[in-house]
Every structure is written in C-alpha cells, then in structure tokens.
C-alpha cells in the first residue's frame, strides 16, 4: 500500500471557498444581468431619463462588481470575496432606500453575514452580523425621522418609529440566531476537521509503521525461505557446478527486496586452496557462478582476481571476515574490464567449512546502505551453508571416484579369479532337457540365433528374449535321441539371462523352447533373473570356498615345511630339508640351491661351489 500525504485541511477549506465564490459570482453575473433588464422594464414611464438612470445605476454597478472578479481569477482571494459581499451590503441599503421597511432589504442584510461566514470565516461573519444590525438601526432612525424618504413611498405615509423598532427586534433576533448557528456550526466543523486531521495523521503513522513491519516480515520471510532452499539444495544437489548456480540464483532472488542484482561465487583455485592453518596459501580466486548479464560476461572472461586487500573479495578471504561497503559512489566498482555502475552497496563474505576457507560470496545492491547487521549475519550463515554444501559435494565426488576405482579393481579381480578358475577347472556348459531320457540335451551349435543371443547377453549384461526363430538343418551337428530332423524348420523361442556378479558377467543361463514359438511373460523373465542372481551368488560362494580350501592347504604345507626346516642343525641339513620338501610339494626332479653375491652367481666358475643340487632323495 502506497502512502499519500494527508491533505492540509486549511488549504482544502480554502479551495472549497474558492469553488463556492466562483459559483456565487457566476450566479451574481447571470442574476444581476436579468435583474438589471427587469428593473429597467419595470420603471414607471413618468420618470425622467435622469431618474431612470438613478434607478438602474446601482444595479449596473453591482453587476460590474460581480463580473470583474469572476473574469479576473488571479486577483487576490480576499479582494475577490469582498466584492460580492459589498454588492450584497450595498444592495440591501439600496433596497431599503427604494422600498423602506416593506421591501426585501432585511433579507439582503441577513444574507450579508451568512455569505461572510462562508467566504471569510467565523470571525468576519460575526463582525458582518454586527454591521447588519447597526445598519438596520441606522435605517430605522433615518426613515422614521423622515430624513430620507423611500422612493416608492408617499411622503404623506411615513413609517412610524414603533414599526421599525418592532420589526427591528425580530430582525436582530434573526441575525443573532443566524450568527450563532453559523458560528457554532463552523466551530464544530473545524473542530471535527481538526480531530479528523489528528486521527488521520495517527492512522497514517500507524499505517506507515505497519507497512514497515510488513515489509520487514516479508523480507525476513523471503530470506528465511532462501535459507531453507539453499539448505535443501545443499542436501540434494551433489553436482558442484549445478550447486554453484543454484546457490547464487537463490540468494539473488531472496534478497531482491534489498536491491540485490548481482551475486558472484568465487572459489580458490587448486594452487591456492586453504590448508587449514588460517592462511589461504594462494594468490587467486576464480569466479565459478554469477547472476545477471554482468555475471554471464564475467564467466565468459574466465574472471579471477588476486587475493589482495585492494578488493572486497580478496580482503574477506585473507582476513576470513565479511567486508561491507554501504556507500559506494557511482561508477567506482570495476571488475576487471567490466564496470558495475549500478552498485551502491557491496558485501563480500568468506565461504568457510570445517575450519577452511574455500572462497567468497560477492553480493551487489543498487540501494545505498542496503545491508543491516541482521542481513549481514544471515548472509554469512547462507555463505557457510553454501561452503559446507560445496565441501560435501566435493567429498561425495571424491568418494564416488574412489568407489568407482574400487569397483573397477574388484571387477578386474573377479575376471582374473574366474579366468584362473576356468583354466584350472573348465566348465564349458551344463545342459538339461525334460523331453529326453535322463534330461540329456544338446543345443544347436555354431552361430545360430541362440548363440547370438548368448553373445548379446554377455556383452550387454541384460536379459535377451527371443520369442521366435527357426533352426536351419545345418545348425545341428549332434542330434539327440529323439532326432532334430523332424523339426528342422519348427519355430522356436529362447530366453538368455546373464549371470552377473557385482556388475561382472561370468556366464549365462539359456532357456530354449525347442518345439514352438512363445512370448516370455514379465513374471517368467523376473523369476529367471532372480534365479540367475542367486545362482551367481552361490557360484561365487563355492568359488570362494574352493579358494579358501586351496589357501588353507597351501598354508598348511608351508607350515609343515617350516617346521621341518627348523629341525636342521647346520646349513647342509637345512639345504637338504628345503630341497627335499620343495621337490615333494612341487613335483620337480632336481632342486638347486646356490648361496652367494650377485657377482659370484654370474661368474663362470659359479657352477655349484656356492651351493649344491639335490634330486629330492638326498643325492
């Protein structure tokens, strides 16, 4: 709600008086012209031209006195108001002079104080009432004593003083009552207006306070919402670059009521990362995210600044404290080659996390003194939240990379172990059929559709469903007991499920429908995949058990050899026992043991004098 200045009631009353005066003058001009014409027409024909002019002259003068202020609007108000009041007063005197007590002079004398009240105020109205009463008294004395005889009255018919006095008492009472009513009404009206002014001023002050309170609450709500959004972004966004952009946009939107139009996020480069001892340890801070057109241009320029106290960002990183500038002159902020002419307030806040400074947050506003202590504290809290979120995102990225390395290493380990297992204990294929005696079944060999499905499953690690395919006669090399020749051209179906162990494919399970084509239902595929998963885990368990047994046998053999070697009493006996046990464990025919330096072992004469050979039987 926009506040408007309360009107000055005195000026408002004066404007109302001017409007009333203009209307009154207009009526006087029109009415005076009509009265002038009617007076001229109603003049007796027996009057001479001079007498007729004397009758019309007052009306003509009054009409001119009304016409001049109505046309001349720039004339001072009191002069313009005085002219119609004088017309009214002198018109009442003329009517008294023309018709005496029986005329309408008393009505015009009553109108004189009433108009004065309206045009000039209560005090002038009271004086006008007094003048009206004195005028009536004066006219009563003059006409009753025949000092002046009314024009329309016969000299032989004078008005008695008693009649003037009687009518005068009524006139005085009416004037007194009229003045009292106007004065009381005017006073009550002005007091009411004064009370309304006071009440409206109080209401205005209260409304202004409420607007300020509402603005503060709206600003605080926006800032708290921004804080919550940044906290949510920090807990849900794990991509650092996306987190940078989201943070600066949320801060710019949340503090837009403070005139914030630019928010920039600076991070220390790899060479200047804070080591945790309070010293940033580097020389540059790089802009990683910014808002607005200025931010876009700075990002395109790969803007970075030196960690020096000459810049707000550099100062806050070096001192690890907020840097606030609340009264910046126009065209004084310069970011590299880009000017920031709209900046009137600037604040730079360090990004602190776990005792380290990661960078800084730069906030620019178009308002002078835009940031209060509460705003600075809240912005610093947001900066700390952003820093913690950035640190967590970096740790997550590092952990994810380490996990990928561990998974890759584990997959290499699985491939190596399974390769060694299949080399030592080859298991090419296990087939089963419910349509042949004993379950024996030989699947088509060669590069048929089933073999292709197996290759796809091994390569993609996904289940391959073949709803229909046909065997060619040459695809089978060894027919089962029931002979495939009767169904060489029969339509068939297959489902191949990869055996996956922690993302590594170690084999396949193929379900082959050899008699007809059929679609594989989702429930069947899900059941087959579950069985394949459990099968892979069981196979891995058996492999680990076999490896554990082999290691146990090896450790047992090493322990036995070591125990026998400890029974030797001299070097010759030790060599004999070692050679004998190695020959027995590894199955060699002869074992050679040589002792000596590298040069003696390479010399032509080093043919056994430094050791001896043993065939495992003591020879």
Residues 129-163: tens digit of each pLDDT: 888 888 878 887 887 777 776 665 555 455 555 55
Q: Which residue has the higher pLDDT, 97 or 275?
A: 97
pLDDT at residue 200, as a whole number: 81
Supply 199's token pair: 């009440």
According to the model, what pLDDT value does residue 11 have? 75
Percent of the chain predicted with pLDDT > 70? 74
Q: Do domains 242-398 and 437-474+485-543 have the same CATH topology?
A: yes
pLDDT at residue 488, as a whole number = 43
Q: In this model, does residue 19 exceed pLDDT 50?
A: yes
In sign, the C-alpha dihedral spanning 25, 28, 31, 32 is: negative
User: Coil, strand, or helix at residue 255?
Assistant: coil
Confidence of residue 91 (pLDDT cuts 50, 70, 90): confident
d(CA 222, CA 229): 10
Q: Return all residues near 509 (Cβ < 8 A) that are at least 6 apart.
A: 496, 497, 499, 528, 531, 532, 535
Question: What does the mean pLDDT of the chain come to?
Answer: 76
Helix (H, G, I), strand (E, B) or coil at 61: helix
Name which of 493, 495, 494 is nearest 529 in CA terms.
495
Neighbouring residues of 150: CB distance < 8 A, sequence distance ≥ 6: 96, 97, 98, 99, 100, 103, 143
Q: In what order do the strands lie in the sheet with 464-470?
A: 464-470, 491-501, 504-513
pLDDT, one tens digit per residue, over 37-84 is 887 787 777 777 787 787 788 778 878 888 888 888 888 888 888 888
Q: Which of the 8 DSSP states describes residue 297?
A: H
| pTM assigned to the model | 0.47
192-245 pLDDT tens trace: 777 777 888 888 888 888 888 888 888 778 778 888 888 888 778 878 888 889
pLDDT recorded at residue 266: 92
Q: Which SS3 state, helix, strand or coil, does residue 279 take? A: coil
Architecture per CATH, domain 242-398, reads as 2-Layer Sandwich (3.30)
Q: pLDDT value at position 265?
A: 93
pLDDT of residue 2: 41
Q: Mean pLDDT over residues 174-193, rounded? A: 66
Looking from the CA of 500 toward its CB, the CA atoms found within 13 Å total 16
- pLDDT (tens digit per residue) in 361-389: 999 998 888 888 888 888 888 888 888 88
For tokens 């005066």, name the residue. 21
Average pLDDT over residues 14-36: 82
Find tokens 């088509």 and name the residue. 444
Contact 520, 467 (CB under 8 A): yes
Domain boundaries, the chain: 9-201, 242-398, 437-474+485-543, 549-614
Q: Which residue has the higher pLDDT, 69 or 335?
A: 69
Can you give the pLDDT at residue 330? Answer: 59
Taking alpha carbons only, the member of 98, 95, 73 closest to residue 83 is: 73
The domain 437-474+485-543: what is its CATH number?
Answer: 3.30.450.40
User: Dihedrals φ, ψ of 170, to 5°?
Assistant: -65, -45
Token pair for 206: 């209260």
Neighbours of 553 (CB within 10 A): 10
**pLDDT band per the 50, 70, 90 thresholds, residue 263:** very high
User: Does the pLDDT at position 576 exceed 70?
Assistant: yes
More confident residue, 473 or 485: 473
Q: How confident is the model at residue 601 (pLDDT cuts 50, 70, 90)?
A: low
pLDDT at 483: 40
Predicted pLDDT of residue 102: 63
Name the least confident of 147-156, 161-170, 309-318. Answer: 161-170
d(CA 358, CA 352): 6
């Amino acid at each position: 709600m926009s506040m408007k200045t309360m009107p000055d009631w005195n000026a408002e009353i004066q404007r109302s008086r001017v409007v009333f005066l203009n209307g009154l003058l207009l009526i006087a001009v029109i009415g005076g012209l009509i009265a002038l014409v009617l007076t001229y027409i109603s003049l007796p024909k027996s009057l001479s031209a001079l007498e007729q002019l004397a009758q019309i002259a007052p009306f003509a003068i009054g009409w001119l006195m009304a016409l001049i202020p109505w046309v001349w609007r720039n004339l001072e108000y009191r002069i313009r108001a005085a002219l119609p009041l004088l017309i009214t007063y002198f018109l009442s005197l003329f009517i008294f002079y023309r018709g005496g007590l029986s005329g309408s002079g008393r009505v015009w004398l009553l109108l004189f104080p009433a108009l004065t009240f309206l045009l000039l105020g209560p005090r002038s109205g009271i004086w006008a009432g007094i003048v009206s009463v004195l005028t009536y008294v004066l006219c009563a004395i003059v006409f009753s004593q025949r000092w002046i005889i009314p024009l329309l009255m016969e000299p032989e018919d004078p008005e008695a003083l008693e009649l003037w006095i009687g009518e005068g008492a009524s006139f005085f009472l009416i004037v007194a009552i009229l003045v009292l009513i106007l004065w009381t009404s005017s006073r009550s009206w002005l007091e009411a207006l004064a009370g309304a002014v006071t009440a409206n001023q109080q209401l205005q002050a209260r409304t202004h306070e409420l607007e300020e309170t509402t603005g503060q609450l709206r600003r605080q709500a926006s800032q708290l919402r921004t804080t919550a959004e940044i906290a949510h972004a920090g807990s849900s966004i794990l991509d650092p670059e996306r987190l940078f952009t989201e943070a600066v946009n949320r801060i710019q939107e949340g503090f837009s009521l403070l005139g914030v139009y630019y928010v920039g996020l600076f991070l220390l480069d790899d060479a200047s990362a804070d080591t945790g001892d309070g010293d940033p340890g580097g020389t540059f801070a790089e802009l990683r995210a910014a808002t607005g057109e200025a931010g876009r241009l700075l990002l395109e320029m790969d803007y970075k600044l030196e960690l020096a106290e000459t810049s707000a960002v550099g100062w806050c990183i070096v001192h690890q404290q907020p840097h606030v500038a609340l009264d910046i002159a126009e065209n004084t902020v310069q970011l590299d080659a880009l000017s920031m002419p709209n900046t009137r307030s600037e604040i730079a806040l360090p990004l602190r996390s776990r005792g380290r400074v990661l960078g800084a947050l730069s906030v620019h506003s178009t308002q002078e003194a835009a940031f209060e202590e509460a705003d600075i504290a809240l912005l610093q809290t947001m900066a700390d939240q952003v820093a913690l979120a950035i640190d967590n995102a970096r740790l997550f990225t590092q952990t994810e990379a380490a996990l990928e390395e561990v998974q890759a290493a584990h997959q290499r380990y699985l491939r190596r172990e399974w390769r060694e297992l299949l080399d030592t204990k080859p298991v090419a294929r296990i087939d089963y059929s419910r349509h042949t005696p004993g379950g024996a079944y030989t699947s088509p060999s060669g590069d048929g559709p089933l073999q292709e499905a197996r290759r796809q499953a091994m390569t993609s690690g996904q289940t391959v469903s073949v709803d229909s395919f046909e065997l060619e006669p040459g695809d089978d090399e060894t027919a089962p007991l029931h002979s495939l020749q009767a169904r060489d051209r029969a339509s068939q179906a297959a489902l191949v499920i990869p055996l996956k162990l922690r993302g590594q494919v170690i084999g396949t399970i193929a379900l082959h429908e050899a008699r007809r084509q059929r679609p594989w239902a989702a429930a069947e595929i899900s059941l087959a995949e579950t069985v394949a998963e459990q099968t892979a885990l069981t196979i891995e368990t058996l492999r680990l058990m076999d490896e554990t047994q082999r290691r146990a046998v090896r450790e047992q053999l090493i322990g036995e050899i070591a125990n026998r070697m400890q029974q030797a009493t001299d070097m010759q006996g030790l060599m004999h026992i070692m050679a004998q046990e190695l020959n027995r464990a590894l199955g060699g025919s002869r074992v050679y043991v040589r002792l000596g330096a590298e040069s003696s072992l390479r010399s032509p004469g080093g043919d056994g004098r430094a050791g001896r050979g043993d065939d495992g039987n003591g020879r």
